[in-house]
Chains A and B, each alone.
Chain A
C-alpha cells in the first residue's frame, strides 16, 4: 500500500510540473516567439523603452525558459525577490509569483479566494452527490415508471441549462422578485457564518442542479448494469434482504465510476467555478482568474492555473486511494 501511495505521489508531482511547464510556456514563451513583448504588458499604457527594459530585467524575462521556470518553482518553497538595481520587490514563500497590478504576492490573492471556492465546492458537492446518487438509485430501481421518467427529464434539463442561465433566473426570482435571499457582495472571512450560508445557498443549489443531473444519470446507468450482474442474483439467491443487496453489494460496486467522476469534478471546482463565481460575484479563484485575465495580470492567471492543476491532481490521488477502500481488487493490482 505504501509503495502504491509513493508511486501515486510521484506521479502527481510530475503531472503538476508538466502542467506548470506547459502553462509557463504558454504565458511567457509563446508571446515572445510570436514577436510580442510581454514586458510591455507589465508596463501599462505609457510605455518608454527604458521602462520596459527595467521590467524585463526585474522579472528576468530575457532568461532562458528553463531558468525562468526554475526560479518560479524554487520560489514556491523558498520565496524569491525581483530586483532591478536598487528596486527590489520581495515575494515571501510560498511565492506563486508577484502581481504588478495589485502590488501583492499572488499567494495573497489565492489565500483570500480559497475559502470562498472551498465553501462553494464543499456545499455544492454534498448537495449534488446526495441528490444525484439518490435520484439515480431510485430511477434504477423503479425503472420505466413515472418516477424514473420524471427524474430523468429533470436531470436532462439540469444538464442542459447553463449556470449563467439558471443562476440569473434563480437570482431574478429569489433575490430580486421574492427577496427571500440576500446576496452579500465580496464575501470575506470577516462575515458571519449566516451571511456565508445565505450568500452561498443559491450558488450551491444552481451548481448542484447541474452536477446532480449528471450524477443521477450516471448512477442510474451504472446501477442498472450492476443489478444485472450474476453476483447480485447470487446475493439475492442467498436470501439477503433487498436493502443489503442494493446498498452493500450493488451501490458499492456502482460507486467506482461515480467516484472517478466525483474526484475530477471536485478538483475542477476547487480550481475555480468560473461561471458560478462570475454570475454570483463570489470572490473565489474562478473570479480571480477572470479579473486577472481582464487586467492582463499574468502572474495571477498562472497562480490560479497552477492551483487548479494541483487541486485536480490531489483530488485524483484521493480518489485512487479510495478505490482501494471500495474495491479490494485495486489493492491487488
Chain B
C-alpha cells in the first residue's frame, strides 16, 4: 500500500511541476526582445507609439487564418485589405493616421481625392508622377482601368466586393476583360482614360460613397501583361514598396523591397522594414506565446488574443496591449416574417427582457467582449447616436421585466410565445450567449429553442429566407462589420429591403420598410457627408423605434503590440487593426 501511495504522491508532484513550469513559460524566453517593455496599456489607440523613420529589419507577422486572396480584385477579408497596401496601391486610400482620423480618404496613386462634377456623376483623377510597377515600367491610367475591369469577369475573379461593378454598370452589360472583343481589352464604357495620367469615372447615378469603393483593393491597377487570371493570387504584380518573394498558401508569405518603387511617388508609405514575413500557424495559444516571447511582432489576423494568452499577457505584459474597439457589432436579428415578430411590440418585449449586461458577461466582459450596444450603428460609423429608447444604457444593460410584460400584452401575447434562435457553433461564445438569452427571455414567458448552426454554412441557412421560414427561426444571433466605414457600407446589406436575397442574405430581420430604403437612396445620392450622417442618424432612430434589429455588443479585443514595433497605432478604417503599412521595427 505504501508504495502505491508514494507512487501517487510522486505522480502528483510531477504533474504539479509540469503545470507550474508551463504557466511560467510565457514570460522568460531567451529572446532578445521578450523582456523589453511595451509603450503602455492602450498606448496605440489614438496616438502613434514609437514614432520612427528608421529603416531596416524584418517585420514578422503570425496568424492562424491565412489571407483569403492576394489578388486585389478577389480579396474580401479586412486583414488582407490592411496588409495589401504593402504591394498594392489604389487611386485613393485611407489616411495613415490613428483612430477615427484614418477614415478620411486621401490620394494614393492619384494626386488627391476626385474632382467631382456638379451632378455627382463624373469623378476625375490625376495620377502622380513617377508611378511604377515592380519591373520598372510606368503605371498608367489604363492599368487602373484594366484592374477594375477584372471584377466584371465574375466567373474567374471570384470573392471580391461587387460595389464598383454594380455602381458603374448596374445592368451588367460589360462582359469583363477576358471576353472583351476590343483589341486593348479596355471596353468598359464607364471608365475613360483620355491620357496616361487621367482616369474618369462616369456613374449612371450619383453615389456619395463612390470613392470608398475605389479605396478597396478592387479598385487597384493590374498590368495586363502580368494578369494570370485566377492564378494572379499566387504572384500579384506589385505597385507598392514591397513585392512577393515567396508564397505558400496556408503556410507563409515573404515580401521584400520592390526596388523599382519610388518614394517620391508615394507620400503615405514610409516602407521601413527591409523584409516582411507572415507565418500561418494553427495553434492560437502557441501563437500568443510566441508573440509574448518576441519571436513575432504582431498577429496578422487582428482578432485579439486567446483567453489564456490574454490572461497571462494582462498579468505580465499589460504595457504591450491595446484594448481595441473594432467596428464589429454583435446582434440578434428579429425575423419579421416569423410570427409574432411581425408585431413591433413583440420585438420590443425582447429588447426589454434581454439582460445585455449578462450577455456581455457571457462573452467575456467589457474588456474582452466589448461595450453594451445601444445604436444599430457602431461608434465609428456616421449614424451612431446615444439614442436609447429602451433604456439599455440607462439601466446599465439590465432588463426591465415589467415593461417587457407590458409589451407582450400590447402584442396580444400576455403569456409569452415560443420561437427559435440560431447561433453559430464555430463562433466562440455565441452558443453560450444564445443560451443565456434563452434563459433571460424565459423569465417573461418567451420560450426560446436554441438551434446551433454550422457557421461556415450560415449564408445558406440564416442567409436563406426560405430555409429560415421552413425551420421556423424567429431570431438569429450573429455579428457584422462594415465593408467600408459609412452608413451604406455598414447598413445597407442589413436593413435595405432590396438587399433581401434568396441566398447570402444579410437583412436577416427581413426589414421591408420603404422609408428606410428611401433614406439609403437619399444618403447615397448626397455628396455632403454631413447631410448623409443626419439621414443615417434618423435611420438609426427609426430602426430602434420599430425594434427591427437588436444590437447587443460593440466588439473589443485585446491586441498584442510587439515591443520591437515602431509607428504603431490602431486604424478605425481597418476595423481597429494596426495600420500595417506604417510599421517598422527597432532592430
A179 in contact with B30 given A150-B7, A185-B279 (CB within 8 Å): yes
Q: For chain B residues 145-196, which have a beta carbon within 8 Å of chain A?
A: 154-156, 158-162, 172, 178-179
Contacts of B250 in A (CB 8 A): 102, 109, 283, 288, 291, 295
Please tell me if the beta carbons of B21 and A281 are within 8 angstroms of each other in the complex.
no
Contacts of B410 in A (CB 8 A): none
Question: Of the 9-residue stretches A42-50, A123-131, A314-322, which lies at the interface with chain B?
Answer: A42-50
Please tell me if the beta carbons of B21 and A173 are within 8 angstroms of each other in the complex.
yes
A177 in contact with B7 given A46-B76, A168-B286, A288-B250 (CB within 8 Å): no
In the complex, whether B231 has a CB less than 8 A from a CB of chain A is yes
Contacts of B198 in A (CB 8 A): none
B21-42 vs A, CB cutoff 8 Å, 1 = contact: the mask equals 1111110111000000000000
Please tell me if the beta carbons of B286 and A171 are within 8 angstroms of each other in the complex.
yes
Bound: A89/B251 CA distance, A: 24
Please tell me if the beta carbons of B29 and A44 are within 8 angstroms of each other in the complex.
no
Please tell me if the beta carbons of A50 and B25 are within 8 angstroms of each other in the complex.
no
Bound: A150/B65 CA distance, A: 43
Please tell me if the beta carbons of B7 and A153 are within 8 angstroms of each other in the complex.
yes
Q: Which of B30, B76, B286, B293 contacts A44 (CB 8 A)?
A: B76
A172 in contact with B22 given A47-B504, A104-B249, A281-B286 (CB within 8 Å): yes
Please tell me if the beta carbons of B504 and A40 are within 8 angstroms of each other in the complex.
yes
A40 in contact with B162 given A85-B155, A172-B25 (CB within 8 Å): no
Contacts of A51 in B (CB 8 A): 154-155, 158
Bound: A225/B234 CA distance, A: 59
Q: Which of B22, B30, B155, B289 contacts A173 (CB 8 A)?
A: B22
In the complex, whether A221 has a CB less than 8 A from a CB of chain B is no
Please tell me if the beta carbons of A48 and B155 are within 8 angstroms of each other in the complex.
no
Contacts of B18 in A (CB 8 A): 169, 172-173
Please tell me if the beta carbons of B159 and A44 are within 8 angstroms of each other in the complex.
yes
In the complex, whether A287 has a CB less than 8 A from a CB of chain B is yes
Please tell me if the beta carbons of A58 and B155 are within 8 angstroms of each other in the complex.
yes
In the complex, whether A242 has a CB less than 8 A from a CB of chain B is no
Bound: A149/B8 CA distance, A: 12
Bound: A176/B21 CA distance, A: 9
B473-488 vs A, CB cutoff 8 Å, 1 = contact: the mask equals 0000000000000000
In the complex, whether A103 has a CB less than 8 A from a CB of chain B is yes
Question: Shortest beta-carbon distance, B4 to chain A, in Å?
Answer: 8
Contacts of B76 in A (CB 8 A): 44-46
Contacts of B466 in A (CB 8 A): 35
In the complex, whether A36 has a CB less than 8 A from a CB of chain B is yes
In the complex, whether B459 has a CB less than 8 A from a CB of chain A is yes
Bound: A58/B155 CA distance, A: 9
Question: Shortest beta-carbon distance, B465 to chain A, in Å?
Answer: 12
In the complex, whether A77 has a CB less than 8 A from a CB of chain B is no
Q: For chain A residues 162-179, which have a beta carbon within 8 Å of chain B?
A: 168-169, 171-173, 176-177, 179
A25-36 vs B, CB cutoff 8 Å, 1 = contact: the mask equals 000000100011
**Minimal Cβ-Cβ distance residue in A for B234:** A103
A177 in contact with B25 given A40-B504, A86-B178, A87-B155 (CB within 8 Å): yes
Please tell me if the beta carbons of A287 and B248 are within 8 angstroms of each other in the complex.
no
Bound: A48/B18 CA distance, A: 54
Q: For chain A residues 252-298, which have a beta carbon within 8 Å of chain B?
A: 277-281, 283, 287-288, 290-291, 293-296
A36 in contact with B457 given A55-B158, A87-B156, A281-B281 (CB within 8 Å): yes
In the complex, whether B52 has a CB less than 8 A from a CB of chain A is no
Contacts of B28 in A (CB 8 A): 177
Bound: A131/B338 CA distance, A: 62
Question: Shortest beta-carbon distance, B415 to chain A, in Å?
Answer: 34
Bound: A179/B282 CA distance, A: 21
**Could you tell me how many residues of chain A have their Cβ less than 8 Å away from some Cβ of chain B?**
61
Please tell me if the beta carbons of A103 and B233 are within 8 angstroms of each other in the complex.
yes
Question: Shortest beta-carbon distance, B5 to chain A, in Å?
Answer: 13
In the complex, whether A71 has a CB less than 8 A from a CB of chain B is no
Bound: A84/B456 CA distance, A: 26
**Minimal Cβ-Cβ distance residue in A for B281:** A281
In the complex, whether A54 has a CB less than 8 A from a CB of chain B is yes
In the complex, whether A146 has a CB less than 8 A from a CB of chain B is yes
**A85, A103, A153, A278 interface centre (most CB from chain B within 10 Å):** A103
Please tell me if the beta carbons of B282 and A100 are within 8 angstroms of each other in the complex.
no
Please tell me if the beta carbons of A185 and B281 are within 8 angstroms of each other in the complex.
yes
A188-199 vs B, CB cutoff 8 Å, 1 = contact: the mask equals 100000000000
Contacts of A278 in B (CB 8 A): 282-283
Question: Shortest beta-carbon distance, B429 to chain A, in Å?
Answer: 17
In the complex, whether B315 has a CB less than 8 A from a CB of chain A is no
In the complex, whether B316 has a CB less than 8 A from a CB of chain A is no
**Minimal Cβ-Cβ distance residue in A for B19:** A169
Question: Shortest beta-carbon distance, B302 to chain A, in Å?
Answer: 17
Please tell me if the beta carbons of B286 and A37 are within 8 angstroms of each other in the complex.
no
Question: Shortest beta-carbon distance, B234 to chain A, in Å?
Answer: 6
In the complex, whether A186 has a CB less than 8 A from a CB of chain B is yes
Question: Shortest beta-carbon distance, A169 to chain B, in Å?
Answer: 5
A55 in contact with B155 given A36-B457, A279-B283, A281-B283 (CB within 8 Å): yes
Question: Shortest beta-carbon distance, B28 to chain A, in Å?
Answer: 7
Contacts of B283 in A (CB 8 A): 278-281
**Minimal Cβ-Cβ distance residue in A for B218:** A46
**B179, B233, B464, B503 interface centre (most CB from chain A within 10 Å):** B503
Please tell me if the beta carbons of B11 and A157 are within 8 angstroms of each other in the complex.
yes
In the complex, whether B225 has a CB less than 8 A from a CB of chain A is no
Contacts of B30 in A (CB 8 A): 179
Question: Shortest beta-carbon distance, B18 to chain A, in Å?
Answer: 5
Question: Shortest beta-carbon distance, B177 to chain A, in Å?
Answer: 12
Question: Shortest beta-carbon distance, A112 to chain B, in Å?
Answer: 8
In the complex, whether A101 has a CB less than 8 A from a CB of chain B is yes
Contacts of A176 in B (CB 8 A): 22, 25-26, 29, 289, 293
Contacts of A279 in B (CB 8 A): 283, 286
In the complex, whether B264 has a CB less than 8 A from a CB of chain A is no
Bound: A58/B74 CA distance, A: 18
In the complex, whether B419 has a CB less than 8 A from a CB of chain A is no
Question: Shortest beta-carbon distance, B428 to chain A, in Å?
Answer: 13
B276-301 vs A, CB cutoff 8 Å, 1 = contact: the mask equals 00011111011001000100000000
A100 in contact with B158 given A169-B22, A176-B29, A177-B21 (CB within 8 Å): yes
Question: Shortest beta-carbon distance, A207 to chain B, in Å?
Answer: 15
Q: Which of A146, A171, A277, A281 contacts B3 (CB 8 A)?
A: A146
Contacts of A41 in B (CB 8 A): 456
A291-326 vs B, CB cutoff 8 Å, 1 = contact: the mask equals 101111000000000000000000000000000000
Q: For chain A residues 72-120, which have a beta carbon within 8 Å of chain B?
A: 84-87, 89, 100-104, 109, 112
Please tell me if the beta carbons of B25 and A54 are within 8 angstroms of each other in the complex.
no
Contacts of B68 in A (CB 8 A): 44, 101, 295
Please tell me if the beta carbons of A40 and B503 are within 8 angstroms of each other in the complex.
yes
**Minimal Cβ-Cβ distance residue in A for B289:** A176
Contacts of A294 in B (CB 8 A): 65, 456
**Top-7 shortest CB links A-B:** A44-B159, A172-B22, A54-B155, A176-B25, A102-B249, A172-B25, A51-B154
Q: Which residues of A approach B to under 8 Å, CB–CB?
A: 31, 35-37, 40-48, 50-52, 54-55, 58, 84-87, 89, 100-104, 109, 112, 146, 149-150, 153, 157, 168-169, 171-173, 176-177, 179, 185-186, 188, 277-281, 283, 287-288, 290-291, 293-296
Given contacts A87-B156, A89-B230, A168-B286, 12 further A-B contacts (CB under 8 A): A31-B460, A40-B504, A51-B155, A52-B503, A54-B154, A102-B249, A103-B234, A104-B249, A112-B248, A172-B22, A173-B18, A173-B21
Instruction: Show 6 A/B contacts (Cβ-Cβ < 8 Å), sorted by A.
Output: A44-B158, A112-B248, A153-B7, A173-B25, A176-B29, A288-B250
